[in-house]
Amino acid sequence: MFTLQDIDDVNRLSTFLANDQGRPTSILPGDVYILAGSAILDTISATFLHLSNRQEKATLILAGGKGHSTNLLYDAVALHPTYGTIDASSYRHLAESRVMELLIFRFFPILARKN
């Protein structure tokens, strides 16, 4: 059962998140992909592969700090047949977005070079 305070808190948060900041000051070229950190490496790999094969310009935004699923991401990388070749000490201290960046530079060099 939700209290009136719970409802007020949700409404306040929704209002904040829905705040229209107006038109962006800069437009990013092409499609924009936002990849949130998670331990689901198939999604991460599929996105990287898709963007590597793409001819048109696109913008990739990697998101993810250190939180409840960061250790799950570390473990998934360690157990992955390809990504597991990376020395764990090179990523176990990184934020999720930095782990994904590391995967790009190690395993998707064409994507790392695209501008």
Residue 96's alpha-carbon distances to 10, 14, 87, 92, 115, in angstroms, are: 27, 26, 16, 10, 22
pLDDT reported for residue 58: 85
Could you read off the pLDDT of 65-85 as tens digits, one per residue?
Answer: 999 899 999 999 999 999 999
pLDDT above 70 (res 27)? no
Average pLDDT estimate for 2-26: 73
CA distance 112 to 107: 9
pTM of the model: 0.73
Is the pLDDT confidence value at 115 over 80? no
Class of domain 29-113: alpha beta
Distance of alpha carbon 10 from alpha carbon 78, whole angstroms: 38
